[in-house]
Structures are given as C-alpha cells and as structure tokens.
C-alpha cells in the first residue's frame, strides 16, 4: 500500500472530543484490550490529567490538515515506551495507521513496545510492517518489541 504523508502534532486540550470519539468507536473497542465504553466526563478528566503527565506523550495524526488518528507513547519504569494507536473510522484502510506508527517510532530511541490482540488483524500488520518483533502471546494479546537506534 502507498504510504500517505502524515504529520504528528502534540495533542492539546481541544483534541479531547476527537480522542473520545476514536476510543469509543465500536471497532476500536472490540480491538482494544479494555473494551468498556468510556463515559465522557471520565474521559475529559483522564485527558486533562494525561496532558499534564511527563511520562505520557499523545499526538494527533493529520492528513492534509485533517485529524485522522491518534497515537500515544507511555514511558514505562524500564525506560521503554509503549505505543497505542487508533485511526478515525472514515480514514481506515488507506495506509494511515501504518504511516502514523512509523512516524511516531522514528521519533523514539531505545526499546519501544506495543500490545495488540491476536484478532486485531490490521494492528498486527502495522506492528509487523513497522519492524516490531513478536515477544510472547498472553491471553490472546501479542506483546511486540522493537529497538530504535
């Protein structure tokens, strides 16, 4: 698939509703490790606190200035980053998820990890294309790892 040129910009308070829409989308929920629908007020509090955290980086992915996905990197105790990603339903299947995760990984150094359900075919493909290696599978969840120079 041809790689679209995407841009990542740090999330800001105005992006809260976009993050909630993508998180609560039924396909996102089915493919997420925690599947509950998130209450809007709980989300707003979580989002505001997340923006303040030094150990969390959240980005909005844009294609031609249009928000089309989000990616998050959480710093773990061992200094590695765990990535999670989601694209907006109307932008799926166009190579954006792959381009977004590839762009994010290029900004990181050291160990980068991700977890995807075995059944989440598109996310498994993204992890493979972006150079993550499968570590182990636990309860249907694949743990991925990649070293970034």
- For residue 9, list its beta bridge partners: 60
Out of 73, 123, 132, 142, the residue judged to bind ligand COA by CB under 6 A: 123
Cβ distance to ligand COA smaller for residue 26 or 110: 26
Q: Is 102 in the site for ligand COA (CB under 6 A)?
A: no
How many positions of this chain bind ligand COA (CB under 6 A)? 24
CA 8, 56, 69, 114 dihedral sign is: positive
With contact defined as beta carbons under 8 Å apart, do 112 and 81 qualify?
Answer: yes
Task: Tell me, rounded to whole angstroms, the distance of Cα 98 from its chain centroid.
Answer: 10
List strands edge to edge, sheet with 7-10. 7-10, 56-63, 66-75, 81-87, 110-117, 141-148, 133-138
90: DSSP letter: G
- Cβ-closest residue to ligand COA? 97
The window from 56-64, 88-96, 102-110, 138-146 that contacts ligand COA (CB under 6 A) reads 88-96
Out of 20, 59, 71, 87, the residue judged to bind ligand COA by CB under 6 A: 87
CB of 41 to ligand COA, least distance (A): 23
Q: Could you list the residues that contact ligand COA (CB under 6 A)?
A: 1, 27-28, 31-32, 84-87, 92-98, 116, 120-123, 125-126, 129
């Amino acid at each position: 698939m041809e790689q679209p040129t995407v841009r990542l910009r740090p999330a800001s308070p105005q992006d809260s509703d976009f993050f909630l829409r993508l998180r609560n989308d039924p396909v996102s929920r089915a493919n997420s490790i925690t599947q509950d629908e998130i209450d809007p007020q709980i989300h707003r509090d979580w989002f505001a606190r997340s923006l303040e955290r030094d150990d969390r980086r959240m980005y909005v992915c844009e294609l031609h200035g249009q928000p089309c996905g989000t990616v998050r990197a959480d710093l773990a105790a061992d200094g590695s980053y765990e990535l999670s990603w989601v694209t907006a339903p109307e932008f799926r299947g166009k190579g954006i998820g792959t381009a977004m995760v590839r762009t994010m990984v290029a900004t990181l150094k050291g160990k980068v990890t991700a977890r995807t359900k075995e059944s989440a075919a598109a996310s498994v493909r993204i992890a493979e294309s972006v150079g993550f290696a499968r570590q182990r599978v636990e309860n249907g969840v694949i743990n991925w790892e990649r070293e970034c120079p």
